[in-house]
Chain A
Amino acid sequence: MPKIVVKNIEKIFGNQIDKARSMFEQDISKNEILEKTGCAIGVFDASFEVYEGEKLVIMGLSGSGKSTLVRCINRLHEPTRGTVTVDGVNVRELSNEELCTFRQQKFGMVFQHFALLPHRTILENAAFGLELQKIDRDERYRKAEKALQVVKLEGWENVYPEQLSGGMQQRVGLARALAVDTDILLMDEAFSALDPLIRAEMQDELLQIEELKKKAVVFITHDLDEALKIGDRIILMKDGKIVQTGTPKDILKKPATRYVERFVEKVDMSKIVTAEDAMVPVGTVVYPGEEPKNILEKMDKNNVSYLPVVDKKGMLRGIVARDDIKNKIKGKRDKSIIIKPDSYVFAPETPLKSMLSSIAVLDSPAVVVNKSGIIKGTISEKSIVAALADAENKKYLEKHATH
């Protein structure tokens, strides 16, 4: 069952809602509607679901209604139409008091500009959500300390927010949301105010936080790279409407509209192409205990200077190099000829971008191995270039096929 079900949500700001709605349905532009009725269209007819353990990214340019949409989930904005169901409860039917309790129990939220309380210490800030739940002092501080540890802020408990850098302040914001330990985490442009280096670091850490893996996370961003990195699924918004919903690969490979395409064009393909895409599926292998002469023959036949060594189950044992084999035949060296797998092994889902620097310093080819250690394929400079060119080509072809 989905954690959150959003159905036909609409948010129009202003007084002449019906008039604005019918104008919008007639494809009149947002600016014209604003001029004629004084109403701003926030979100129009948006429906989606969020599942447990999923990171859903809502993405769009500023003014596309993404922040409004997420605020409709916990009713920071009162939707003008549609329903929001969280864990089977219709959020829109809750009374004010019920809504407060419901927010305490269900939602953690992280904000673009941190929104910390300047008169409270880091610890008190992190414990704020628990304080609202009237949890006693010792327990809430204990939980807040734990959350601060998760975001790597131990030792900073007693300083004030203004003494921290932006990145660290946002860690506090994240700790505040983790401390309440709700099933749902809403992140509104959480990293947009941070500089690029800190931002990438925070993204990486966010993906590693164990506590988050069971939660439903709704993450808002205007940055496609961030969306691709974080999202299990992505919702693309434009002018208050959802234009496409899908996995990062769906969005890149099959952009639904011209608008999505224009986003996708700017994407660095090396972040999308994975080790699996770039590898050459494994063909010839050698087995431990094979004759050196045999191995050399195999190498000559395939015109390669390295071959992977696998056992009978297909588990990678290492790789052998042509030079080492030759030395062995001449009897100069008697050491084991197998180069042990360490630096050159990658998981199939590793993005190319993060492999490039380590591949560059390798003498041997990189090997792709799945979780149970079974060899999948090898990667060489040539196969990388081919995969990148292929991805760019596909983008190009698809773009021109749709016109």
Chain B
Amino acid sequence: MLHIRLGEYLETFIEAAAEKGEPFFDAVSVSIETIVKSFQKLLYWPEPMVMIIFFTILSYCVIARKKGLLNKKGLKSAWGMSVFTFLGMSLLYNLGLWEDTLQTLALVITSTLIALIIGIPLGIAASRHDCLEKVVKPVLDLMQTLPAFVYLIPAILFFSVGDVPGVVATVVFALPPAVRLTNLGIRGVQEDVIEASKAFGATEQQLLIKVQIPLALPTIMAGINQVIMLALSMVVIASMVGAGGLGERVYTGILQADIGLGFEAGLGIVIIAIFLDRITQSFGMRKDR
């Protein structure tokens, strides 16, 4: 019987690609490294307490602005969120996890940014061309269902170990919702509004910028929220290829069977997750009027 040596073929292909494309991958590697390092520097720069207060005020302002300051319920949820942020972040500082927290934040922000820079234009393109959508969909399915560990291996081959392969693996894992929800949002814009815009002479570009994207924005924002959440869920897995931060602490906890360390770092991830989720979710909502 004929054996298909799929694994072997893929390995040969990836090794060849890694070798041939070395200058390219090096360039990518350097740029991602630079972005992560700059975010880290920016976040490390102020005193931890100053940073915590900044995050607290940020969460208050963002939520209050969206939910409406005059509205009692909005005010309450803004207060609740800022109290949570302050207590949660202070706890992380107290546990000595502050640097790891910021590093995780830097990794998440970098991966999210890259995923959005690729994902949103791709989603817009897919919404305008049915054939592109047909090609992109199965690829996205593959990206989402293939166990995340599997593409850690080629990531190491291309980018060796450290933060960079972690970011790359995270981008691959977190990208699909950005594409999907952008596509969905734009396709979901009411047909009659589009027709009206065309009737008044809107060009394709005007239609996209003035009508489709603004109306799809809540859906696109939900996509961005999902990207962030998926990126965060990758931090532990990414630490297996050498990415730092809270994920690395959890991973150490697993390796050393250190329940306490694993739990503390895990709690840290949860706190950041809630913080990022609430803030980005409120971006997705329409202004309360």
Binding site for B on A (CB under 8 A): 74, 76, 97, 100-105, 107-109, 111, 113, 115-119, 128-129, 131-133, 160, 163, 176, 180, 186
Of B190, B197, B200, B211, chain A has the most CB atoms within 10 Å of the CB of B200
Q: Is B195 touching A128 in the complex (CB atoms < 8 A)?
A: no
Q: Is B203 touching A100 in the complex (CB atoms < 8 A)?
A: yes
Q: Is A117 touching B211 in the complex (CB atoms < 8 A)?
A: yes
Report the Cα distance A100→B196, complex, angstroms: 12
Q: Is A132 touching B289 in the complex (CB atoms < 8 A)?
A: no
CB distance from A159 to the nearest CB of B (A): 8
A and B contact pairs by CB, cutoff 8 A, 25 listed: A76-B195, A97-B203, A100-B201, A100-B203, A102-B201, A103-B200, A105-B201, A107-B200, A111-B192, A113-B192, A115-B190, A115-B196, A117-B193, A117-B211, A117-B214, A119-B215, A128-B200, A128-B210, A129-B200, A129-B201, A132-B201, A132-B203, A132-B206, A133-B201, A176-B200
Verify if B259 is at the interface (C-beta below 8 Å from A). no
Report the Cα distance A118→B214, complex, angstroms: 10
Q: Is B200 touching A104 in the complex (CB atoms < 8 A)?
A: yes
CB distance from A123 to the nearest CB of B (A): 15
Contacts of B197 in A (CB 8 A): 128, 132
Q: Is A115 touching B192 in the complex (CB atoms < 8 A)?
A: yes
Verify if B202 is at the interface (C-beta below 8 Å from A). yes
Q: Which residue of A lies closest to B286 (CB)?
A: A119
Q: Which residue of A lies closest to B203 (CB)?
A: A100
Verify if B199 is at the interface (C-beta below 8 Å from A). yes
Q: Which residue of A lies closest to B198 (CB)?
A: A76
Of B197, B199, B210, B286, chain A has the most CB atoms within 10 Å of the CB of B199
Report the Cα distance A109→B217, complex, angstroms: 26
Q: Is A111 touching B196 in the complex (CB atoms < 8 A)?
A: yes
Of A113, A132, A176, chain B has the most CB atoms within 10 Å of the CB of A132
Report the Cα distance A109→B198, complex, angstroms: 10
Q: Is B202 touching A115 in the complex (CB atoms < 8 A)?
A: no
Given known A115-B192, A118-B215, A163-B289, contact A74–B199 (CB-CB < 8 A): yes
Q: Interface SS of chain A: helix, strand, loop or mixed?
A: mixed
Report the Cα distance A76→B198, complex, angstroms: 7
CB distance from B192 to the nearest CB of A (A): 4
Contacts of A117 in B (CB 8 A): 193, 211, 214-215
Report the Cα distance A131→B214, complex, angstroms: 15
Q: Is A160 touching B200 in the complex (CB atoms < 8 A)?
A: no
Binding site for A on B (CB under 8 A): 190, 192-193, 195-203, 206, 210-211, 214-215, 217, 286, 289
Q: A109-B199, A132-B200 given; name 8 further pairs at CB < 8 Å.
A: A76-B195, A107-B200, A115-B193, A116-B193, A128-B200, A132-B203, A132-B206, A132-B210
A-B pairs with the 7 shortest C-beta distances? Answer: A104-B201, A103-B201, A115-B196, A129-B200, A109-B199, A115-B192, A100-B201
Q: Is B215 touching A101 in the complex (CB atoms < 8 A)?
A: no
CB distance from A368 to the nearest CB of B (A): 43
Q: Which residue of A lies closest to B218 (CB)?
A: A119
Q: Which residue of B lies closest to A107 (CB)?
A: B199
Report the Cα distance A351→B206, complex, angstroms: 47
CB distance from B156 to the nearest CB of A (A): 45
Contacts of B202 in A (CB 8 A): 100, 132
CB distance from B25 to the nearest CB of A (A): 41
Report the Cα distance A176→B202, complex, angstroms: 14
CB distance from B191 to the nearest CB of A (A): 9
Given known A100-B202, A160-B289, contact A119–B214 (CB-CB < 8 A): yes
Report the Cα distance A3→B247, complex, angstroms: 71
Report the Cα distance A133→B200, complex, angstroms: 9
Of B193, B206, B286, B289, chain A has the most CB atoms within 10 Å of the CB of B193
Q: Which residue of B lies closest to A129 (CB)?
A: B200
Q: Is A180 touching B200 in the complex (CB atoms < 8 A)?
A: yes
Q: Is A109 touching B200 in the complex (CB atoms < 8 A)?
A: yes
Report the Cα distance A101→B206, complex, angstroms: 13
CB distance from A212 to the nearest CB of B (A): 18
CB distance from A124 to the nearest CB of B (A): 10
CB distance from B143 to the nearest CB of A (A): 32
Q: Which residue of B lies closest to A130 (CB)?
A: B200
Contacts of A103 in B (CB 8 A): 198-201
Report the Cα distance A128→B196, complex, angstroms: 10
CB distance from B218 to the nearest CB of A (A): 10
Contacts of B215 in A (CB 8 A): 117-119
Contacts of B192 in A (CB 8 A): 111, 113, 115
Q: Which residue of A lies closest to B206 (CB)?
A: A132
Contacts of B200 in A (CB 8 A): 103-104, 107-109, 128-129, 132, 176, 180
